């Protein structure tokens, strides 16, 4: 069995225009101060990282790793969540997603998608140059406006959506395969890949591609009322990245899993800082250890109540206390008698 690496932290929610949040040097020092030993880097944030340069320059990637190492940290994964969202997007979201791409591409869905695909191809090369084995992303969504089956969906609509989604992602998955890196889709409402059933449908459409993997984040499962522990029993072989984020679902007579268009703080399902929600992380970490999860426990902070600095500080301690140092022996080895084929046959009466 493997001991999970961590704690690490996803920098996206903390990056800003003021020091120390506006440079990679500043953020690694900040993360180390809070007790982290790894960072997941948002590849779209040029204050911290230059994705194109990383794809083309081993020297630059060595520099990035060196900046992290000076603070005692490792780079765990790159993230292309924003770019992945644009690989496939229904026209209903075109205007909403203009901010995910360069300003000159606003209003041009095809150009934004082409830009996003190039970003993913660079991310595969950059991940390889950084010596990483996993990458965090979103799938995008062609079918999300039709997630509820009313008005009744025409026969074949979802099949066509997943056929197109697979066609767009297959060249990207091949690039990740060439780089030796797993592409890990965060299963998330708003994405066509948002639960086990949709992941299975996508996996079939891409021919069970070996690099089509999962970023496991139980918080999104709580908000969907999906059982996050049996999920690991079903899909652990494809889980190659892990966001440690808490959530709660408070049953209400006014609103349910759809949230009633309310602000986050008033929704029945909402994200919380680690330890403040309902997720049984002792069982989560136990299953991750049981199934030999090979990667990092990465804190993603999203809370509508607690200050981010407090959440970040508490998160490192929380993960460190939940990581299981796995055993290197069986608990009953003291009573074992060693291996003896003849004795075994005798015990069996043979």
| Assigned token pair, 336 | 């074992």
pTM: 0.96
Q: pLDDT grade, residue 37 (50/70/90)?
A: very high
| Assigned token pair, 62 | 């060595």
pLDDT of residue 327: 87
Q: pLDDT grade, residue 335 (50/70/90)?
A: confident
Report d(CA 15, CA 3) in Å as an integer.
Answer: 29
| Confidence check: pLDDT of 217 > 80 | yes
Average pLDDT of the residues in 285-292: 98
Q: Is the peptide bond before 334 cis (omega within 30 degrees of 0)?
A: no
Q: What are residue 298's DSSP bridge partners?
A: 8, 243
pLDDT of residue 161: 98
| Confidence check: pLDDT of 193 > 90 | yes
Average pLDDT in the chain: 97
Neighbours of 255 (CB within 10 A): 16
Using an 8 Å Cβ cutoff, are 296 and 326 in contact? no
| Confidence check: pLDDT of 329 > 90 | no
N- to C-terminal Cα distance for the chain? 34
Percent of the chain with pLDDT over 70: 100
Using an 8 Å Cβ cutoff, are 178 and 188 in contact? no
Reported as a single tens digit per residue, the pLDDT across 99-117 is 999 999 999 999 999 999 9
| Assigned token pair, 218 | 């139980």
Using an 8 Å Cβ cutoff, are 183 and 117 in contact? no
| Assigned token pair, 208 | 């069970």
Q: pLDDT grade, residue 47 (50/70/90)?
A: very high
Q: Does 3.65.10.10 match the CATH number of domain 5-347?
A: no
Q: pLDDT grade, residue 331 (50/70/90)?
A: confident
The H-assigned helical ranges of the chain are 24-33, 51-56, 58-70, 81-87, 109-129, 157-179, 196-205, 218-224, 228-235, 281-290, 308-322, 341-347
| Confidence check: pLDDT of 333 > 90 | no
- 269: region left, alpha or beta (phi > 0 left; psi from -120 to 50 alpha): beta
**CA R_g for the chain:** 22
Report d(CA 132, CA 325) in Å as an integer.
Answer: 23
List, as one string, the DSSP characters of 159-196. Answer: HHHHHHHHHHHHHHHHHHHHHT-EEEEE--TTSS--SH
pLDDT of residue 330: 80
Q: pLDDT grade, residue 324 (50/70/90)?
A: very high
Report d(CA 230, CA 287) in Å as an integer.
Answer: 9
Report d(CA 32, CA 8) in Å as an integer.
Answer: 10
| Confidence check: pLDDT of 319 > 80 | yes
Percent of the chain with pLDDT over 90: 93
| Confidence check: pLDDT of 332 > 80 | no
> ∠ CA(15), CA(19), CA(23), 5° rounding?
60
Using an 8 Å Cβ cutoff, are 256 and 246 in contact? no
Average pLDDT of the residues in 237-262: 97
Reported as a single tens digit per residue, the pLDDT across 75-104 is 999 999 999 999 999 999 999 999 999 999
Q: Tell me which residue of 215, 222, 245 sits closest to 138, measured CA to CA.
A: 215
> ∠ CA(104), CA(40), CA(222), 5° rounding?
95
């Amino acid at each position: 069995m493997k001991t999970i690496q961590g704690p690490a932290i996803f920098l996206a929610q903390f990056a800003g225009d003021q020091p120390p949040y506006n440079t990679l040097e500043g953020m690694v020092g900040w993360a180390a101060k809070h007790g982290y030993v790894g960072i997941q880097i948002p590849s779209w944030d040029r204050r911290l990282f230059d994705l194109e340069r990383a794809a083309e320059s081993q020297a630059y990637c060595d520099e990035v790793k060196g900046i992290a190492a000076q603070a005692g940290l490792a780079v765990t994964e790159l993230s292309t969540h924003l770019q992945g969202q644009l690989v496939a997007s229904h026209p209903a979201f075109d205007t909403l997603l203009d901010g995910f791409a360069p300003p000159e591409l606003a209003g041009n869905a095809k150009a934004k998608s082409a830009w996003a695909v190039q970003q993913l191809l660079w991310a595969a090369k950059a991940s390889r140059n950084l010596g990483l084995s996993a990458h965090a992303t979103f799938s995008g969504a062609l079918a999300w406006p039709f997630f509820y089956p009313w008005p009744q969906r025409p026969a074949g609509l979802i099949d066509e959506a997943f056929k197109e989604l697979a066609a767009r992602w297959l060249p990207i998955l091949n690039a990740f395969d060439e780089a030796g890196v797993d592409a890990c889709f965060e299963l998330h409402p708003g994405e066509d890949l948002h639960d086990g059933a949709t992941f299975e449908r996508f996996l079939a459409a891409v021919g069970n591609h070996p690099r089509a993997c999962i970023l496991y984040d139980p918080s999104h499962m709580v908000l969907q009322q999906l059982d996050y522990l049996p999920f690991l029993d079903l899909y652990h072989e494809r889980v190659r990245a892990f966001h440690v984020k808490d959530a709660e679902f408070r049953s209400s007579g006014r609103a349910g899993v759809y949230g009633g268009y309310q602000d986050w703080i008033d929704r029945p399902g909402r994200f919380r800082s680690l330890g403040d929600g309902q997720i049984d992380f002792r069982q989560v970490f136990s299953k991750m250890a049981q199934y030999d999860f090979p990667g990092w426990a990465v804190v993603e902070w999203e809370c509508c109540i607690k200050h981010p600095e407090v959440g970040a500080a508490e998160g490192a301690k929380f993960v460190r206390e939940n990581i299981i140092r796995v055993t290197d022996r069986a608990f009953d080895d003291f009573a074992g008698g060693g291996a003896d084929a003849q004795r075994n046959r005798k015990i069996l009466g043979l």
